[in-house]
């Protein structure tokens, strides 16, 4: 992205209320986090890339927001373990995400954990990608609607658990 053209870059956010409300949601989260942490380069880079993607592309905004939340948690020190079962260390059948234990779990270990959310293989690969991809490639993938729903749920619950705070997505209501 070309950081020398800020007005043009975010033009669509100013003309599209739907996009604007996603950006407002993201800014609220970043505002809270930067009140308690130093605003690192990584947070700023993530914020700008997220707003850019919402503004200038037609990528699903729920997916963009889910990617943002998971990556943000990783940046501020809550990186989930996405390479093995957080409990028994197996690398097989990791189709569960544990909110409580911050990472993937296998089917057997998931049975003992009420905080797990079951995920499809596509969602599993997406979560790994979100945590491990280079910043510049973060938003360059797509998944099905059902995976987006899983990512949306995990990113919301995981972030709210780690930040010990809940966020309402404020819908802008049109009135005549």
Report the interface residues with Zn ion, using CB under 5 A.
Answer: 85, 87-88, 106, 109
Whole-number Å distance between alpha carbons of 53 and 172? 20
Shortest distance (Å) from residue 99 CB to Zn ion = 16
Residue 153 sits at the vertex; the CA angle it makes with 24 and 54, to the nearest 5 degrees, is: 35
Q: Which is nearer to Zn ion, 73 or 85 (CB)?
A: 85
Nearer to Zn ion, 33 or 106 (CB): 106
Shortest distance in whole angstroms from residue 74 CB to Zn ion: 22
Q: How far is the CB of 98 from Zn ion (least distance, A)?
A: 10
* Cβ proximity to Zn ion, 13 vs 103, nearer residue: 103
Hey, CA dihedral for 125, 150, 152, 157, is it positive or negative?
negative
Nearer to Zn ion, 23 or 109 (CB): 109
Rounded to an integer, what distance in angstroms lies between the CA atom of residue 49 and that of residue 46? 5
Q: Which lies closer to Zn ion via its Cβ, residue 26 or residue 85? A: 85
DSSP character at residue 147? H
In the complex, least distance from residue 80 CB atom to Zn ion, rounded to whole angstroms: 15
The answer to whether 115 touches 95, Cβ cutoff 8 Å, is: no
Q: What whole-number distance in Å separates Cα of residue 101 and Cα of residue 134?
A: 25
Picking from 116, 136, 138, the residue whose alpha carbon sits closest to that of residue 128 is 138
Nearest one of 165, 168, 130 to 150, comparing CA atoms: 130
Instruction: Provide, rounded to whole angstroms, the least separation between the CB of residue 64 and Zn ion.
Output: 31
């Amino acid at each position: 992205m070309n950081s020398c053209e800020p007005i043009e870059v975010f033009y669509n956010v100013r003309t599209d209320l739907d996009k604007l409300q996603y950006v407002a949601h993201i800014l609220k989260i970043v505002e809270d986090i930067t009140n308690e942490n130093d605003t690192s380069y990584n947070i700023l880079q993530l914020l700008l890339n997220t707003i850019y993607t919402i503004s200038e592309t037609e990528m699903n905004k729920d997916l963009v927001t889910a990617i943002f939340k998971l990556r943000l948690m990783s940046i501020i020190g809550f990186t989930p373990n996405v390479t093995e079962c957080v409990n028994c260390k197996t690398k097989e059948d990791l189709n569960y995400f544990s909110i409580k234990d911050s990472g993937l779990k296998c089917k057997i270990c998931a049975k003992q954990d009420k905080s797990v959310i079951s995920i499809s293989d596509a969602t599993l690969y997406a979560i790994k990608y979100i945590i491990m991809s280079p910043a510049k490639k973060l938003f360059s993938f797509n998944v099905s609607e059902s995976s987006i729903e899983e990512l949306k749920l995990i990113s919301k619950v995981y972030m709210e658990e780690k930040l010990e705070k809940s966020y309402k997505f404020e819908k802008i209501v049109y009135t005549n």
